Each structure stands twice: as structure tokens, then as C-alpha cells.
Amino acid sequence: MPPYSPVLMGEYNFGHRHLLGIEGLSREDIEHVLDLADTYVELSRQADKKTARLRGRTLINCFFENSTRTRTSFEVAGKRLGADVINMAVAVSSMRKGETLIDTAMTLNAMHPDVLVVRHPESGAVQLLSEKVDCAVINAGDGSHEHPTQALLDALTIRQRKGRLGGLTVAICGDVLHSRVARSNIALLNVMGARVRVVAPRTLLPVAIERLGVEVFHDMKAGLKDVDIIMMLRLQSERMHGSFIPSTREYFHFFGLDYEKLKLAKPDALIMHPGPMNRGVEIGSEVADDIDRSLIRQQVEMGVAVRMACLEIMTRDLGNNPPVR
Ligand code: NCD
């Protein structure tokens, strides 16, 4: 039997041409992605991992910023679905010769891709690009704005382990200011009925963050008390202009996750990190590698399944309503 039910396959109208952020997605949209992704988790654990759902389709990965897991997992996801996957090598592309983002978009568009997966250092750049092309665009991270597939894979990881998202208390800790992962997760967890806390020094929180529907803590002791999930964030020094923390040693002392701080959370609380990790800065190695408490490896596995689901949904909708070229 194929690993899809007819309901998962086609009945649900996702209704979004692009996946630019979690903002704008409904609870049903999110559940639809997660339900479909569940089937791809199963498929990815089999010896034969391939389907032909995207045969004949072309996916172009355009990463204008470094990435290991996100780019690789989109590539694996596309290939498992039978698509042709092209990784644009930005370091040697014409962008380096001064071509604008829009010219690059128009060039890629002329090759008739079905999906463009785009990461860019500027917030809003992916949306701008999506307005210029005929195919579906998936945001793989734009500046400190959104990273929707990361939030979806985090949600899938939590749901698989805890059985639900609603009613859980999730603490997002660290460099929230520069984090697109935090923004997308805050939006998703709120839609799904989880309680969200952010825990960080004042210098690493955006002003008026509570307007996003979070409780704010400046101290790990209070912030981690009785939480179900702890999401640690990397200190994103590449986005920092100036000094945000006194020293990484002091930062670890106050905000780094170790067993002592973990004790404050619920006894069955689980640890997450989107990667890449700075061991000894925001997270200690012993907790990061604790197979009973850390979900970091599962997050990577769920990343492929979620991206397969997103690729299928975005191309399915286009297939039903082909754009005028
Ligand atoms: C995150 C990103 O790039 O936004 N990483 C990822 O996609 N797995 C987080 C980070 O870089 O710290």
C-alpha cells in the first residue's frame, strides 16, 4: 500500500502559492503538513526511500547564505520524491559579478523550475524574489525574519515525541533578537495552542517581543521552571553589529544549558537546537548529547520528512492550477 491516504494526497486545499513564513498559515494548514510529513518519516526509514511524486519536476536550491542541514535536507527531500535537484553555487554565481537578486531570479525562472528554495541574508528578500517568478518559492531562511520549514520540523519532532503541541510550555532561549527560527516557532506554537516563553538577556531580545504572544524572562531559573520543551538558539554573531554579551564564558554561566539548569524544567523536559551548535556557549556537550533528553538528531531526521511534505504540497497546488507562463 502506498504510504499516502487520499485525504493526505489531494483533498486538502493548502491555498498558498509560496511558503514564505508561518505567519498566514492556519492550524489546519500546519496539521496538514505535519500529517503528510508523518508518512514521509515512515518512508524515509525504509530501505527503498524513493517515490515518484515529483518525477519530472525541477527544484533549484538557491542559498545566498551558508547552510549545511537545511540545504542538504531539501536536496535529499527533492531526490526522494524523484525531482531533479539543482544546487546553485552562489559563491561562483553571477551574483558575485554584480547581478541583482531580481536578475538572478529572472534567469532561474526562465529555466522553468517548479520550486525555488531560497535562503538570503536580508529579511524580505525571499518574498521579493517570489513576486518575480512563476514557480513556487519556499523560504529557507531570510535574515532574522522567518524560517518556516524549521518551525514545521520542530513541531513534527515535538508532536512525534509528546503526541501533541497544544497545552505544552516551550521555552525558547538565547539569541532571539537575531533568530528567524525563534520568530517562526513563536508564530507556529501560538497557532497550535502551546504556551511560549522566551528566555534571554535584554540585549538579545527585540523590543516589544511580548506582542508576539510570549512570556518574557531574563533569567533561566525562572524561565525554565516547569517547561516541557527547551529550545536553545545559537548566538548569531554574523548578524551582530557591536557587542551583545560580555563574554561567551559569562554567557554560558548565565544562559548556557547544562544539567543544573535542566533540573528546573519538568523531569521529562526535552532539549532542542536547530543547529549549528556552539558547544560550551549556549549549550553544554553533555546535555546536547544526552540521548534521553536531547531531540537534536531527531530534528534533523524530521527536517527531511517535513521538506518532502512541503515540496509535495507546493508542487501539487501548482499542478492543479498551473501558472500562466
Ligand atoms: C538556523 C538558521 O540558519 O536560521 N539553522 C538552521 O537552519 N538549521 C539557525 C542558526 O543558524 O543558528
What residue ranges line ligand 1, CB within 6 angstroms?
Answer: 69-70, 141, 147, 150, 180-181, 234, 236, 274-275
- Residue-wise pLDDT for 263-307, tens only, equals 999 999 999 999 999 999 999 999 999 999 999 999 999 999 999
Candidate from 147, 235, 236, 272 with most ligand 1 atoms within 8 A of CB, to mutate: 147
* Bridge partner list, 294: 271
Q: Is residue 129 within 8 Å of residue 102, measured between CB atoms? A: yes
Convert the pLDDT of each residue in 204-243 to its tens digit.
999 999 999 999 999 999 999 999 999 999 998 777 777 7
List b or e across 138-169, with b for residues whose CB sees 16 or more CB atoms inside 10 angstroms: bbbbbbbbbbbbbbbbbbbbbbbeeeebeebb
Output the CA 4–ligand 1 centroid distance in Å: 30
Share of the chain above pLDDT 70, in %: 92
* Residue 279: closest CA among 268, 269, 289: 289
- Distance CA(169)–CA(172), nearest Å, equals 10
Please, are residues 110 and 90 in contact by the beta-carbon 8 Å criterion? no
Residue with cell 520528512: 305
Longest dimension (CA), the chain: 58
Cα dihedral 183, 65, 94, 92 in deg (nearest 10): -160
Alpha carbon distance 44, 160 (integer Å): 15
Q: Which atom of ligand 1 is nearest to the CA of 303?
A: 8
Q: Is 209 helix (H, G, I), strand (E, B) or coil?
A: helix
75 vs 316 pLDDT, higher one: 75
CA 266 from centre of chain: 25
Separation of alpha carbons 144 and 176, rounded Å: 9
Record the pTM.
Answer: 0.94
